[in-house]
């Protein structure tokens, strides 16, 4: 058997000099490319983060320097295949179950009762929620848990959740619905019992969302920069949380304006707590700092 160090050299032959860095021009080209596709601003302060993440792509395409990688992408035909990976590499996917938990109380106490009272007398009641920057699905599955709890404790209703994101890697994780044990710790214990499956192997700490919830949640690739998207136009609530902060002000307004075309009259828009001011200039009534209703 080869020694471990030899095995490592064999599978990962490219050694990157730690001192290598992106030139101003290379960083600007990457920032422009990413910004043009995703709307994400990459100011100079993000250079170290971008370098760290691009390093992984350099290894994957067999380049040993940033200049070699940039030449490959911009001059040598690598752009088409590399742009998706670059987007995966530079997006920030930080999320949690029950992140900013007040919003899930708004869902339970206000949005669900409002939807149910609107559909009084209808043969079938359904609630549609869109998690528009879904990351690994924690937000969409939190919504599903809250709706399942609410539907189980009062008037029955049907519900579906759409999760969308620009990052193909993170969407694959969302569809898999498998999470490390410590990542699901914000889920209340009784909901963990009902909605998370543990492995039969006691040494495995990973958990998976139960099929009953997975069936309710669909994931789709969607770029918020696109002019149009194939999403229903009668969505009851859109969670657009912790993504607008990466865009400049005109882009934020354009993104929210496009999303509102998919919200039914009287539907709800929930932004991240640090994004609460963004909704105030649009056709929206502010109900709470980061909760809006389409008027």
Ligand X SMILES: C[S@@+](CC[C@H](N)C(=O)[O-])C[C@H]1O[C@@H](n2cnc3c(N)ncnc32)[C@H](O)[C@@H]1O
Query: What value, to the nearest 5°, has the Cα angle with vertex 258 and ends 271 and 216?
Result: 65
Smallest Cα–Cα separation from 219: which of 174, 273, 258, 278?
174
User: Among this protein's residues, is 41 annotated catalytic?
Assistant: no
Least distance to ligand X, CB of residue 135, Å: 4
Which helix (DSSP H) or strand (DSSP E) does residue 218 occupy?
A: strand 217-221
Of residues 29, 41, 47, 53, which has the active-site annotation?
53
Least distance to ligand X, CB of residue 222, Å: 6
Smallest Cα–Cα separation from 103: which of 129, 68, 65?
129
Residue that has been written with the tokens 């100079």 in this structure: 44
Provide the binding-site residues for ligand X, judged by CB under 6 A: 38-40, 91-95, 99, 133, 135, 139, 165-167, 170, 222-225, 241-243, 246, 272
Pairing of strands 235-240, 207-209: unpaired
**Closer CB to ligand X, residue 116 or residue 145?**
145
Order of strands, edge to edge, in the sheet holding 284-288?
Answer: 217-221, 158-165, 126-131, 235-240, 263-271, 291-294, 284-288
**Closer CB to ligand X, residue 225 or residue 254?**
225
Least distance to ligand X, CB of residue 225, Å: 5
Of residues 55, 165, 236, 241, which has the active-site annotation?
165
For residue 54 the two structure tokens come to 């691009």
Instruction: Say how far apart CA 84 and CA 88 lie, in whole Å.
Output: 6
Pairing of strands 291-294, 263-271: antiparallel
User: Among this protein's residues, is 29 annotated catalytic?
Assistant: no
**Closer CB to ligand X, residue 66 or residue 272?**
272
Instruction: Say how far apart CA 173 and CA 249 lie, in whole Å.
Output: 30
Instruction: Say how far apart CA 185 and CA 45 lie, in whole Å.
Output: 32
**Closer CB to ligand X, residue 72 or residue 275?**
275
**Closer CB to ligand X, residue 63 or residue 95?**
95
Give the SS3 label for residue 126: strand
Least distance to ligand X, CB of residue 100, Å: 7
Least distance to ligand X, CB of residue 171, Å: 9
**Closer CB to ligand X, residue 63 or residue 167?**
167
Backbone torsions φ then ψ of 197, nearest 5 degrees: -100, 135
**Catalytic positions, written as ranges:** 53, 165
């Amino acid at each position: 058997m080869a020694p471990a160090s030899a095995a490592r050299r064999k599978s990962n032959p490219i050694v990157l000099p730690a001192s290598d860095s992106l030139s101003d021009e290379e960083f600007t080209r990457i920032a422009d490319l990413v910004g043009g596709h995703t709307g994400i601003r990459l100011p100079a302060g993000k250079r170290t983060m971008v370098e760290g993440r691009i390093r992984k792509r350099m290894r994957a395409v067999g380049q040993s320097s940033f200049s070699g990688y940039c030449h490959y992408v911009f001059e040598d035909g690598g752009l088409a295949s590399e742009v998706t990976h670059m987007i995966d590499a530079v997006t920030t996917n930080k999320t949690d179950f029950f992140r900013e938990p007040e919003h899930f109380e708004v869902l339970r106490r206000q949005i669900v009762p409002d939807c149910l009272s609107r559909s009084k007398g209808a043969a079938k009641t359904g609630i549609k929620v869109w998690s528009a920057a879904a990351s690994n699905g924690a937000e969409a599955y939190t919504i599903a848990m809250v709706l399942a709890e609410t539907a189980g404790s009062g008037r029955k209703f049907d519900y579906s959740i759409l999760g969308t994101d620009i990052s193909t890697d993170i969407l694959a994780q969302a569809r898999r619905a498998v999470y490390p044990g410590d990542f699901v710790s914000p889920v209340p214990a009784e909901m963990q019992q009902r909605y998370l499956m543990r492995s039969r192997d006691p040494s495995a700490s990973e958990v998976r969302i139960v099929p009953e919830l997975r069936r309710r949640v669909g994931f789709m690739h969607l770029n918020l920069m696109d002019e149009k998207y194939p999403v229903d136009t009668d969505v009851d609530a859109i969670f657009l949380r912790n993504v607008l902060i990466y865009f400049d002000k005109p882009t934020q307004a354009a993104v929210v304006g496009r999303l509102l075309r998919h919200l039914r009259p009287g539907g709800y828009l929930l932004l991240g707590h640090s994004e609460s001011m963004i909704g105030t200039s649009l056709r929206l009534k502010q109900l709470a700092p980061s909760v809006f209703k389409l008027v």
